[in-house]
Amino acid sequence: MCDGNLTKRSPFARAGIFRFGAICTICPPIMSEQHISTAAVSTAAGLTPIPGNVDPMTVARPSLVDGVTPREDGRIDLIGLPKKRIAELFEGAGLDVKAAKLRAKQVYHWLYHRGVTEFEAMTDIAKTMRPWLAERFVIGRPEIVEAQHSSDGTRKWLLRTADAHDFEMVFIPDADRGTLCVSSQVGCTLNCRFCHTGTMRLVRNLTVGEIVGQVMLARDSLSEWPKNAEDSRRLAALMDDIGDDDDEEGGYHPSGRLLTNIVMMGMGEPLYNFDNVRDALKLVMDGDGLALSKRRITLSTSGVIPQMERCGEEIGVNLAVSLHAVTKEVRDEIVPVNKKYGIEELLQACADYPRVSNARRITFEYVMLKDKNDSDDDARELVRLLKHYKLPAKVNLIPFNPWPGAPYECSTPERIRAFSDIVFQGGISAPVRTPRGRDIDAACGQLKTAAEKKSRAEIDRLLAEKEAALLG
């Protein structure tokens, strides 16, 4: 399937390479003999592989200036940069060391704590300094292509990067918390069979700025930036009152929309974009910046074991694991990464996750698929496995959220409840997650950049016309 992310956005197209199977960054090759090898593409177009990607997928690597990528007008986007890096750029632009550090501290506060989008709004910086900043730097945000609102209050944004790649983020409001579901990649390489994002090809990793930019954009949309010091103190007090994900009760925010929690559960596998995800979350957790506690951030992985320990040590956020099956046969089918990192190895890595405890449980995500992974025996085996590895665990049972062409159906409500009861009786919390945002395709497993869907025949026709025009 293809979501229409075609020639104008393809790195192959920009490089002038037009062949079926290579032009679309989403679809697999139509004919294997027509597929262009990674080496050939790299040689012809100067392209480089995406780190951690298992497919022969390539993206253009932009030129760097002083270690960062400038925009077309030569200005450098400061979003995604830590305070120290901003100071280095200011010094490189002509400020002395002392002035660079002072201005970096001021600008960093305005960027990440106050959320301003124009240098003119930085009122404690000299008026003569603000144009100097604006000439050399920019405060970026991902472009909003479309914003959708569900009948249950869920919001979904279709976003676009500066190089015209689309991705999505979702905000889920509750009475006691508001959770932002953040994407880490454009597309995904894992091909989980029940997940709509898995039908996309991986286009590229999101940058630090594009990841943290989602959080900032959500605060923009929800009008939740503090306007002054008093606002900052009030919001900090509210955050202290609001419960964690595992709490039965939490403080109530009257608007029902305060952004209190982040889950790295959007498009992509976060641990295949480890460095950028880590650096973005450090900005989110920085007390001088977005100031969200690490206990309010959860990173979800399908089981990229080599990076799990690093996640605990270098990021320190809560861990969620997309388990979804208790046998090798079934998990190999629905979560193909299991063929490389098996269930037993995965659960041992969970047991070894730094600082895991009864107070800091690992969440296991388990999508309920009719007649595939939802039997009483499956429930009992799940309990056995978690107890065998002595895992402080919570299991989120997720009713399958359908999408066009999905190969599975959702388990019946009665079957889901029976499964949950068995796990509960085994001494493990197993709540059934209430689907949110189904009417706007924002529910778990439904994310896919689908601003415009085209049939395979229509795609082929467009590509043929494009190639004919270039050759003629």
pLDDT tier, 407 (very low <50, low <70, confident <90, very high otherwise): confident
pLDDT tier, 395 (very low <50, low <70, confident <90, very high otherwise): very high
The answer to whether residue 251 scores a pLDDT higher than 70 is no
Alpha-carbon distance of 281 to 25, in angstroms, equals 28
| Reduced DSSP (H G I as helix, E B as strand, rest coil) percent helix, strand, coil of the chain, to 5 | 40, 15, 45
What local confidence, expressed as pLDDT, does residue 178 receive?
Answer: 92
Averaged over 291-319, what is the pLDDT? 96
Name the percent of the chain lying above pLDDT 70: 71
Q: Between the CA of residue 231 and those of 185, 290, 305, 317, 365, what are the distances in Å?
A: 33, 14, 41, 26, 36
The answer to whether residue 201 scores a pLDDT higher than 70 is yes
**Amino acid of residue 17:** I
Q: Between the CA of residue 228 and those of 99, 245, 258, 415, what are the distances in Å?
A: 24, 29, 17, 51
Q: Left, alpha or beta for 301 (phi > 0: left; psi -120 to 50: alpha)?
A: beta
The answer to whether residue 115 scores a pLDDT higher than 90 is yes
Point out the least confidently predicted range of 292-296, 344-348, 381-385, 430-434. 430-434
The answer to whether residue 180 scores a pLDDT higher than 60 is yes
Residue located via tokens 């590229």: 204
Contacting residues for 103 by C-beta, under 8 A, at least 6 apart: 87, 90, 95, 125, 129, 133
Question: What integer best gives the mean pLDDT of the chain?
Answer: 80
Averaged over 149-161, what is the pLDDT? 90
What local confidence, expressed as pLDDT, does residue 444 receive?
Answer: 44
What local confidence, expressed as pLDDT, does residue 447 receive?
Answer: 40
pLDDT, tens digit, 9 for 90 and up, residues 353-375: 998 888 889 999 999 999 999 99
pLDDT tier, 331 (very low <50, low <70, confident <90, very high otherwise): very high
The answer to whether residue 99 scores a pLDDT higher than 60 is yes
What local confidence, expressed as pLDDT, does residue 54 receive?
Answer: 41
Higher confidence at residue 117 or residue 50?
Answer: 117
Q: Left, alpha or beta for 147 (phi > 0: left; psi -120 to 50: alpha)?
A: beta
pLDDT, tens digit, 9 for 90 and up, residues 46-85: 344 444 444 334 444 444 555 677 888 999 999 999 999 9
Residue numbers in the known binding site for [4Fe-4S] cluster are 188, 192, 195
What local confidence, expressed as pLDDT, does residue 26 receive?
Answer: 29
What local confidence, expressed as pLDDT, does residue 46 receive?
Answer: 38
What local confidence, expressed as pLDDT, does residue 247 receive?
Answer: 43
CB-based contacts of 220-228 (< 8 A; 24+ apart in sequence) = 220/115, 220/117, 220/141, 221/147, 221/155, 221/157, 221/171, 222/171, 222/178, 222/257, 222/258, 222/259, 224/257, 224/258, 224/259, 225/114, 225/115, 226/113, 226/114, 227/114
Residue numbers in the known binding site for S-adenosyl-L-methionine are 268-269, 300, 322-324, 401
Secondary structure class of 49 (helix, strand, coil):
strand
pLDDT tier, 176 (very low <50, low <70, confident <90, very high otherwise): confident
Point out the least confidently predicted range of 8-17, 150-159, 286-295, 330-339. 8-17
The answer to whether residue 436 scores a pLDDT higher than 70 is no
What local confidence, expressed as pLDDT, does residue 236 receive?
Answer: 62
Question: How many Cα atoms occupy the beta-carbon half-sphere of 383 within 13 Å?
Answer: 17
Nearest to 24 by CA among 146, 202, 273, 189: 202
Q: Where are the beta strands (DSSP E) in 161-203?
A: 166-173, 178-181, 185-186
What local confidence, expressed as pLDDT, does residue 29 receive?
Answer: 31
What local confidence, expressed as pLDDT, does residue 434 receive?
Answer: 79
Averaged over 225-242, what is the pLDDT? 65
Averaged over 175-192, what is the pLDDT? 89
Nearest-Å Rg of the Cα atoms of the chain is 23
**What burial class does residue 33 get, using C-beta atoms within 10 Å of its C-beta: 0-12 exposed, 13-18 middle, 19+ buried?**
exposed
Averaged over 422-442, what is the pLDDT? 80
Residue numbers in the known binding site are 188, 192, 195, 268-269, 300, 322-324, 401
Task: List, in order of start, the domains of the chain with CATH numbers.
Answer: 7-63+459-471 (no CATH), 80-138 (1.10.150.530), 143-440 (3.20.20.70)
Averaged over 8-12, what is the pLDDT? 34
The answer to whether residue 142 scores a pLDDT higher than 60 is yes
Polymer length in residues for the chain: 472
What local confidence, expressed as pLDDT, does residue 465 receive?
Answer: 60
What local confidence, expressed as pLDDT, does residue 241 receive?
Answer: 55
The answer to whether residue 36 scores a pLDDT higher than 70 is no
Q: Between the CA of residue 229 and those of 112, 222, 234, 414, 440, what are the distances in Å?
A: 14, 19, 9, 51, 37
Positions marked catalytic: 168, 444
How many other CB atoms are there within 10 angstroms of residue 119's CB atom? 22
Alpha-carbon distance of 57 to 373, in angstroms, equals 32
What local confidence, expressed as pLDDT, does residue 437 receive?
Answer: 55
Which of the residue ranges 27-41, 57-71, 111-125, 186-200 has the most confident prediction, judged by mean pLDDT?
Answer: 111-125
The answer to whether residue 319 scores a pLDDT higher than 90 is yes
Question: How many Cα atoms occupy the beta-carbon half-sphere of 180 within 13 Å?
Answer: 28
pLDDT tier, 25 (very low <50, low <70, confident <90, very high otherwise): very low
